[in-house]
Amino acid sequence: MHWLRNVALTTAAFGGSWGGAIWFWRETNRMPATSELVLYLLVLPVVLLSTWWLARKAWARVGAGAPAAAGAGDVAQAAAAETPAYAPLAPGLSIAASAVRAPHGDTVAELRAALAGNQARPGLDSELYDDDGYPILSARLKDAGDSALREELDLWRRARQLDDPRLDQAQWRALAAASAVTAELAAQASLHADLGPWQQQQQDRQQGRLAPNAAIAPAPPSLHLLPLWGEDWKPQQRELALQWLRHVATEAGWPQALLAPSPRDGDSAAPATADDAGAVLATLLEQCGHASRPCLALVIAAGSHMSDAAINRLSNQNALYTASSPQGRIPGEGAAGILLADAATASAIGTEGAVLQALHQGRRAASADEVRRDTDSCLTDAVHQALQATQVDGAAIALVAADTGHRTSRVTELMHVVTAAAPQLDPGADVVSVGASCGSCGAVTWLTALALADAEAQERAAPVLCISNEDPYRRYAALLRPAHAA
């Protein structure tokens, strides 16, 4: 079609030029010169065709320019739409320090070494037996230190005229472990740069040595002491244990005047249930978003199943691991604590732990102990939300620490989530299941996993995911970043 159009245009140019010239010569009745013949019969048609061709070329360029500009704008808009405009990350909480008393280590370093060497395993208990008279499989502390605690706490309680808490053997062991963790972390908090000058000024004021025009020394933020106990602890026992731990914190160097009031039932800092560490951590993360509200909190979980009463409770619930009940729980014990602070407070303490950047939760529609074919996706959703909130790709996750025990339902759920979120991880080397090594002990197991995640995030200089799925219903996913990357 294009060549026909070109032939027609050429014919029209030459025909028009020749016809017009001949008509003009006839009307004037004269013979044209040679120059006129060349001009009108050859040059004029070529000029007309060249003018037409140049005009079409210019028009095509002008017409193509506007769509190209519009196309470039569309491409730019499409690229902008494809490139997500990330909002600034919500403030996280620095883990200024962490401490554990676990069956396979009295420090985080010892526990990590035992786990790495595959030496952290439950064993047959020499003191506790099942209904058939066989030793149970348990994860017991080497030395709980409860004997010394009983004498010391009894003197303290009598001096304050407090009632006997009537703790059983397992509760004494849990309280002893909690006391050790509290003393260690309170001593760490006492390294706050403002604490010494503030205490000195308070002492000078009491002794009348403070100059009237002296500048007021800034005080560190109040320390919130938030202990978590098992559901077998009665309210009176929890209250006395809390008062004792506050006493332990002051003995370790933190002033009584800078201890925040104890949370009561219904307070925002109080957990929804006795051992719900996730609720406490989620509340702290939400509150730390206010710059005018500095945060310093010591979250401690302690528990023990090392008593006849505790074993009987598990047995009566058909929840004890035995040869005939391999999907039961392996009893554990211990304590774990993390000292959480906003960035400025953590810097004043002088520590650079990992940052708890996000924590998301879910709740199963049915108990994980009862379903046969699990299709609940609440843990997968919680992990996805944690990664999305922190703008972290699953491929960047360096390790997963979890409170997962040995039960098939929990292990399958954890492996499914890890495979979906971070398939590059080696299940044998990059997934740490604390419950399988240290037994089942409620919130203690997950806080221990958080303490391990803190150490791993610092060492690997990469994000670490911490998962809780031991509870029949509650599911939590927390993401920790190294301090320099937060």
Per-residue pLDDT tens digits for 34-88: 766 666 666 666 667 677 666 766 665 655 444 444 444 444 344 444 434 556 7
Structure tokens of 301?
């979980």
Query: What per-residue confidence (pLDDT) applies to 302?
Result: 97
419: amino acid identity, one letter: T
Do the strands 333-341 and 355-363 form a parallel or antiparallel pair, or are they unpaired?
unpaired
Q: Which of 182-196, 282-296, 368-382, 400-414 has the lowest average pLDDT?
A: 282-296
Residue 480 gets which letter from DSSP? E
Task: Determine if residue 266 is left, alpha or beta; phi over 0 gives left, psi from -120 to 50 gives alpha, anything else beta.
Answer: left
Query: What per-residue confidence (pLDDT) applies to 250?
Result: 97
Task: Report the CATH number that the domain containing residue 242 is assigned in CATH.
Answer: 3.40.47.10
Query: What per-residue confidence (pLDDT) applies to 485?
Result: 62
Do the strands 431-433 and 464-468 form a parallel or antiparallel pair, or are they unpaired?
unpaired
Q: What is the mean pLDDT of residues 361-383?
A: 90
* Residue 286 banded pLDDT, cuts 50, 70, 90: confident
- Cβ-in-10-Å burial (0-12, 13-18, 19+) of 394 comes to middle
302: amino acid identity, one letter: A
Asked whether 157 and 240 are in contact (CB, 8 A), the reply is yes
267: amino acid identity, one letter: D
pLDDT digits (tens, 9 = 90+) for 314-358: 999 899 999 889 999 999 999 999 999 999 999 999 987 899 999
Q: What is the mean pLDDT of residues 7-13?
A: 66
Q: Tell whether 15 is covered by a domain.
A: no
Q: How far apart are CA 419 and CA 51, in angstroms?
A: 69
**Sequence-distant (≥ 6) Cβ neighbours of residue 390 within 8 angstroms:** 89, 357, 358, 463, 479, 481
Query: What per-residue confidence (pLDDT) applies to 210?
Result: 78
Q: What percent of the chain has pLDDT over 90?
A: 62
Q: How far apart are CA 5 and CA 481, in angstroms?
A: 70
* Residue 291 banded pLDDT, cuts 50, 70, 90: low
Which of these, 292, 301, 293, 329, lies nearest to 227 by C-alpha position?
A: 301
CB crowding 437-459: b at 16 or more within 10 Å, else e: bbbbbbbbbbbbbbbbbbbbbbe
Total domains in the chain come to: 1
Asked whether 226 and 300 are in contact (CB, 8 A), the reply is yes
325: amino acid identity, one letter: S
Q: Tell whether 83 is covered by a domain.
A: no
Query: What per-residue confidence (pLDDT) applies to 80?
Result: 40
Angle, nearest 10°, between helix axes 44-82 and 2-28?
150
Residue 108 belongs to domain spanning: 93-208+217-485
Q: Tell whether 130 is covered by a domain.
A: yes
What rounded mean pLDDT belongs to the chain? 85
